[in-house]
Amino acid sequence: MKQYYFSDGQERFGPFSLEELRSQPISKDTLIWHEELDDWTKAGELAELTPLFELPTMPPPVNGPNIPSVTPSNPNVLDSSTEEKPKTWLVESILVTVLCCLPFGVAAIINAAKVDSRYAVGDYVGAKKSSDEAKKWTIIGLISGLVFMIIYFGYVFFIAVGGIDDFDF
């Protein structure tokens, strides 16, 4: 089931199923986001949402528990003032680039930049995704570096042992 989020320009609401979205106060200009979208998109531009605007009127607001609004249990949807920027992994990325000699660090740096860009426009879910991606590349770089070191020292050890063998026999 696709999960939709919408924004009133200041706060984000969701996740909602398509059915739940019907009861929310959205217009064709409301910004919508779901997992398959790269960025917030106007509701009017999403084909699957057009039936929503063919309803004659919005249901009247009711002060009751049956109206699903903000679901604070979802960690993706927090008030913007409390949402911290995810780790950019820049320090680790640069370390990998400069010390482990592997270009994976560069892939991590690109994602580090995306963390900040996405965070700046309020896309916390996307920022978190980029942060995880940066972390992934940092770790891949680190592990590749370690594996190379192990192979290298194994090789050095092999040569040393081989040398002794040559000497003895």
Partner 1 sequence: MRKPLLKIVILCGVLGLIWIYKSFDPSSDSTYFPPCPVYSLSGWKCPGCGSQRAAHALLNGELGSAWSFNPLFVLVLPYLVIAGLAEYGGIHLLGKKGSAFLNSRWVIWSFFIIIILYWILRNLWL
- CA nearest to 138, candidates 117, 169, 110: 110
Among 21, 26, 77, 102, the residue binding partner 1 under the rule CB under 8 A is 102
Pairing label, strands 4-7, 31-33: antiparallel
For partner 1, the closer of residues 67 and 143 by Cβ is 143
Residue 10 C-beta: closest distance to partner 1, Å: 22
Give backbone dihedrals phi and psi of 7, rounded to 5 degrees, phi first: -130, 140
Should residue 156 be labelled a site residue for partner 1 when binding is judged by CB under 8 A? Answer: yes
Per the document, the length of the chain is 169
Residue 30 near residue 12 (C-beta atoms within 8 A): no
Reduced to 3 states (helix: H, G, I; strand: E, B; else coil), residue 62 is coil
Residue 126 C-beta: closest distance to partner 1, Å: 13
- CA nearest to 108, candidates 120, 94, 118, 121: 94
Among 7, 23, 44, 145, the residue binding partner 1 under the rule CB under 8 A is 145
Among 31, 78, 85, 132, the residue binding partner 1 under the rule CB under 8 A is 85
Should residue 53 be labelled a site residue for partner 1 when binding is judged by CB under 8 A? Answer: no
Should residue 120 be labelled a site residue for partner 1 when binding is judged by CB under 8 A? Answer: yes
In angstroms, rounded to a whole number, what is the distance separating the alpha carbons of residues 123 and 23? 24
Among 21, 52, 100, 142, the residue binding partner 1 under the rule CB under 8 A is 100
Q: What is the footprint of partner 1 within residues 125-144 (CB under 8 A)?
A: 144
Alpha helices in 9-168 (DSSP H): 18-21, 90-99, 104-120, 124-168
Among 91, 121, 143, 161, the residue binding partner 1 under the rule CB under 8 A is 91
Should residue 158 be labelled a site residue for partner 1 when binding is judged by CB under 8 A? Answer: no
> Among 9-17, 22-30, 71-79, 147-155, which window interacts with partner 1 (CB under 8 A)?
147-155
Helix 104-120 with 124-168: angle, nearest 10 deg = 170
